Amino acid sequence: MIRIVEHSLPALPVDAVVRAADELLRPIGVVSEAIDREAGARFVEQRRVQAALDVGSAVITGGGDLAAEFVLHVVVQGEARILTRDTVRRALTSAWHRAEGWQLMTVGAALTGLGLPAEEAALTLVETFLDRPGATGYPAELQIVIDRPEQRSAIEPYLRDGSR
């Protein structure tokens, strides 16, 4: 199930939130920066890496002081790879796989938090979530967070037609 919610992502009561990051888990964009601020000092320690991660991968850490217990860091760009729809797609696919392995039921992601234009972000979120094999049912729900009511129009067409 995919729901559209108008809420603050750092305060969203879900199992995990999606946070766009670079290969060293540094924030990509204002949504990731807001997550970092709200999550606090404990979160900063949890997201330290010893080596650069692969672009297109995803990792899970604790959520620090967030409402969500976990954060799904999607590695969407690196020093040698710019952010593209393909890197976001690969990272989200990896994130859904990680969420499945951790048996997370609900995941929240901001429409404006992936570094893509709203329509591309909506299509990529919906397609990758719906294209999962679904054998286990985890995650069962994706909550796409919007900042303004008019952003619903970027998402709703993909929900109506199965995202194709």
- pLDDT tier for residue 135 given thresholds of 50, 70 and 90: confident
If one counts the domains in the chain, the total is 1
Write out pLDDT tens, residues 71-122.
999 999 999 889 899 999 999 999 999 999 999 999 999 999 999 999 999 9
Long-range contact pairs involving 52-57 (C-beta distance under 8 Å, separation at least 24)? 52/23, 52/24, 52/78, 52/79, 53/23, 53/24, 53/25, 54/23, 55/23, 55/81, 55/87, 55/90, 55/91, 56/86, 56/87, 56/90, 56/91, 56/94, 57/90, 57/91, 57/94
Mean pLDDT of 122-129: 95
Q: Which residue range(s) make up the domain with 42?
A: 2-160
Q: Residue 22: give its domain's CATH number.
A: 3.40.220.10
pLDDT at 163 over 90: no
Write out pLDDT tens, residues 52-74.
999 999 999 999 999 999 999 99
pLDDT at 164 over 50: no
Report the predicted TM-score, pTM, of the whole model to 2 decimal places: 0.93
State residue 161's pLDDT score: 65
